[in-house]
Amino acid sequence: MADYRRWYVPGGTFFFTLVTHHRRPILCTDIARRCLREAIHAVNENWPVQWRAIVLLPNHLHTVWTLPPGDVRYPIRWKRIKEEFTRRYIEAGGDEVAPNRSRQRHHERGVWQRRYWEHMVRDEDDLKCCVDYAHWNPKKHGHVANVRDWRWSSFHRFVRLGEYTPAWGAENPTPGYDDPEWGE
C-alpha cells in the first residue's frame, strides 16, 4: 500500500493540486464554479485560510494557501471543501462517475480523485514559483494562447496589484517544475 506522508507545518504555506475523478472536465462549468465558490466560502467560515493564488481548469485546480498561525489542519479543509462541493454539485444537477466497490465501501462519490498533491512552500522564491506555475497552467495545457485570456484564475488580481503585467507568461516562468502535475 502507498505511504502518503504529509508535511504539517503550523501556519505554513502550501501549494495544492486537486483533480476530478477520471479527469472529467467539469470544473469550469457554470454549476461547478458556483458550487466550488459556495463550498470554499462555507468552509472558510469555520476553517479560514489566506488564499494566495488559485486557478481553475476543466479537470483540476491549483491553489496556494497560508494557514493561520499554529494551525496545521489543511486536510480537514480539503475534505470539507470536497464534501460541500460534491453535495452542492449533485443537488444542482451535476453528474458523477458511478462509484466502484471501493468507493462505495468508503462512502465516496465519483466526483473527485481520492487524494490531492500538496507541496510545502519553503521560502519566498518557492512561493513565487508555485504562484507562477499555477497562473501559467492554463497556457501549459493549451487552453489559451495568453495567460490573461483564462478567466478562472487569480492572475487577474495579481495584474491589478501590479505583480504581473497583462502580457506576463509569454514563456514558461517555471521550466522543469512539473511536480504539481501529480495526478493529472
Instruction: Write out pLDDT tens, residues 24-47.
Output: 999 999 999 999 999 999 999 999
Residue 97 domain-assigned (yes or no): yes
State the amino acid at position 86 in one-letter form: T
Query: Would you say residue 182 has pLDDT above 50?
Result: no
Residue 114 domain-assigned (yes or no): yes
Residue 159 domain-assigned (yes or no): yes
Residue 3 domain-assigned (yes or no): no
Structurally, the chain folds into a number of domains equal to 1
Q: What is the mean pLDDT of residues 14-21?
A: 96
| Residue 96, Ramachandran bin (φ over 0: left; ψ between -120 and 50: alpha; else beta) | beta
Q: What is the mean pLDDT of residues 47-61?
A: 97
Residue 2 domain-assigned (yes or no): no
Residue 148 domain-assigned (yes or no): yes
Could you tell me the pTM of the whole model? 0.90
Distances in Å between the Cα of 69 and the Cα atoms of 66, 74, 81 are 9, 12, 21
Tens digit of pLDDT for each residue in 105-164? 767 777 999 889 999 999 999 999 999 999 999 999 999 999 999 999 999 999 999 999
State residue 106's pLDDT score. 65
Domain enclosing residue 91, as ranges: 13-176
Residue 91 domain-assigned (yes or no): yes
Specify the CATH number for the domain of residue 50: 3.30.70.1290
Residue 60 domain-assigned (yes or no): yes
